[in-house]
Homo-oligomer: A and B are copies of this chain.
C-alpha cells in the first residue's frame, strides 16, 4: 500500500470491491459513486472521498470504469500479493475460518491448521490438514510463513502466542478474547467479537 489511509475507509473498500465485481459480472462498463452509495446505503460524498483516497479518479459524468477500478483496488489493497497464513486452533471457530470462502479473494491463503488435541491432528478441513502444534516451528521455517490466525480458547492464548513468536511468526490476527502481549517487532490485530457486539447493541439502544 503506497500511502496511509484511515481504518474506516479501509473497511469500506472491500464493500466497494464487491459491488464492482457484481457490476463486472452483470456486464456494466461504468458505475457512479451515487450508484455505489445507494447500493451500500451510505453517503455519496463518503464514497467519493474514500475512492479518492486510493488515488483513483473516475471520468466526469460517466463514473468509474468498472474493469479499471477493479484492477486498481486489487493492486491498492494488495489482493494480488497472496498472504500465506497458518491457522491455530481447529475448534468450531478455526474450522469456520478455514472454510470461509471470502478470504482467498482478498489474498489470504490459509495453508494448514494446527491443534494440540491428538483427536484433531490428521483431520482435513476441505483440502487443509490439521497438524500437531509441535510441528509449527519447523513448518514456519521451511515455508517462510509470517502470519498466524489465532482461534484458540483465551486461557491458552498467551502461551500459544509466545510459542508462535518464538517460532518466527511476525503477524497475528487474534480471535481469542484476550489482551495478548507480544514483542514490538510482532504485529497483533485483535478481532474482538464481543466489542463488535457492544457496537451493535448500542445501535439497538439508540433506536
Which residues does A use to contact B, with CB under 8 Å?
Answer: 1, 4-5, 7, 10-15, 18-19, 39-40, 77-78, 83, 91-93, 95-97, 99-103, 105-108, 146-147, 154, 171, 173, 177, 179, 187, 189, 191-207
Q: How many of these chains are in the complex?
A: 2
The answer on a CB contact under 8 Å between A83 and B201 is yes
Distance in Å: Cβ of A119 to nearest Cβ of chain B: 16
Report the bound CA distance from A191 to B102 in whole Å.
13
Q: Which of B5, B77, B96, B193 interacts with A91 by CB under 8 Å?
A: B96
Distance in Å: Cβ of A105 to nearest Cβ of chain B: 7
Q: What are 28 contact pairs spanning A and B, CB under 8 A?
A: A1-B205, A4-B206, A11-B199, A12-B195, A13-B198, A14-B198, A18-B179, A19-B179, A40-B179, A77-B198, A77-B201, A78-B201, A78-B202, A92-B93, A93-B93, A93-B100, A100-B177, A100-B193, A101-B177, A103-B193, A103-B194, A103-B197, A106-B194, A106-B201, A107-B201, A171-B203, A173-B197, A189-B203
The answer on a CB contact under 8 Å between A204 and B18 is no
CB-CB under 8 A for A187 and B204, given A14-B194, A102-B193, A195-B14: yes
Report the bound CA distance from A78 to B204 in whole Å.
11
CB-defined contacts of A96 to chain B, threshold 8 Å: 91-93, 96
